[in-house]
Amino acid sequence: MHLTLRDKQRKSVPALLAGGMLLCSAFATPLASAIDFGGLVNSASLAVKAATLSDTEVIELAEKSCAELDRTNQVAAPGSKYAKRLATVLKPMNMSQFNGKALDAKVYLVSDVNAFAMDNGCIRVYAGLMDMANDDEIRGVVGHEIGHVLLGHSKKSMQTAYTLQAARGAAGAASGAVAALSQSDLGNLGQKFIQAQFSQSQETAADDQSYGILYKEKLSRTGLVTLFQKLAKQEGSEHSMFSSHPSSPDRAQHIQSRIDKDG
């Protein structure tokens, strides 16, 4: 059933306190005896742990947080027009798996123009993006998100998200990254992952990865150009997936230059 997508939009979770701020405010109080030093030490140790999360742990966190995001967002049913279209769009990319994990692509019935991919093969495309983009453009976006995974950017984003959860004392166990997080924490973890910002060089590298995937399969790369041209008109919008990214016109020109060179 076609939904009024704006009405289905989920609210963003409140910003989480940074670990340093938490520690500073704690040690500023004269009532030192009332401070839960054990909790602070545990949070600090988990923050350190986050920086050294193994690939296996990152994938496990991705599986759990993606599942929680699926639970709290309306997912397009397998037989719906959105699900059918996404399957059709992705089929020519010949990526039944990436990062050694089976591809699991679904559509969130959310009006935001957004998409993300996680290290466990989870790909989620928002209905708002599908409504404004053609098939070539959607392939370009998905290739871009997969590029972040293949280049290790997504792993670092998951580590950062986990650090934020540790800093707020949400993780209560000293061992076992996933076991230390509650269901709500996993949802917050996923939200922080989605909201992660990449550097300009990382965004350009992910664009180039998408270009490479499309080029390899002899698919149109023009969608990356027209996508950025469309997004250029939306820059400054809070709902734009690229609002914190490099200039969309510059990215469109970069891809067009590659197309001109490669033919």
SS (H, E, C) the chain: CCCCHHHHCCCCCCCCCCHHHHHHHHHHCCCHHHCCHHHHHHHHHHHHHHHCCCHHHHHHHHHHHHHHHHHHCCECCCCCHHHHHHHHHHHHHCCCEECCEECEEEEECCCCECEEECCCCEEEEEHHHHHHCCHHHHHHHHHHHHHHHHCCHHHHHHHHHHHHHHHCCCCCCCCCCCCCCCHHHHHHHHHHHHCCCCCHHHHHHHHHHHHHHHHHCCCCCHHHHHHHHHHHHHCCCCCECCCCCCCHHHHHHHHHHHHHHHC
Instruction: Classify residue 75 by burial, with Cβ atoms within 10 Å: 0-12, 13-18, 19+.
Output: middle
Instruction: Give the pLDDT score at 150.
Output: 93
State how far the Cα of 75 lies from the Cα of 169, in Å rounded to an integer: 30
Average pLDDT value over all residues in the chain: 77
Instruction: Give the pLDDT score at 202.
Output: 92
Of 229 and 178, more confident: 229
Percent of the chain with pLDDT over 70: 70
Using the predicted structure, report yes or no on whether residue 1 has a pLDDT greater than 50: no
Q: Which residues contact 179 (CB under 8 A, 6 or more apart)?
A: 173
**CA atoms within 13 A of residue 188's CA, in its CB half-sphere:** 21
Instruction: Give the pLDDT score at 180.
Output: 59
Instruction: Give the pLDDT score at 2.
Output: 25
State how far the Cα of 45 lies from the Cα of 175, in Å rounded to an integer: 10
Token readout for 88 is 């059709």
Query: Sorting pLDDT into bands at 50, 70 and 90, what band is 257?
Result: very high
Query: Sorting pLDDT into bands at 50, 70 and 90, what band is 20?
Result: very low
Query: Sorting pLDDT into bands at 50, 70 and 90, what band is 187?
Result: confident
CB atoms within 10 A of CB 16: 17
Q: What is the pLDDT of residues 112-150, one digit of tens each?
A: 999 999 999 999 999 999 999 999 999 999 999 999 999
Using the predicted structure, report yes or no on whether residue 12 has a pLDDT greater than 50: no
Catalytic residue list: 145
Ranking 14-18, 195-199, 234-238, 255-259 by mean pLDDT, the lowest is 14-18
Instruction: Decide: 105 and 123 in contact? Cβ < 8 Å.
Output: yes
Instruction: Decide: 247 and 213 in contact? Cβ < 8 Å.
Output: no
Query: Sorting pLDDT into bands at 50, 70 and 90, what band is 236?
Result: low
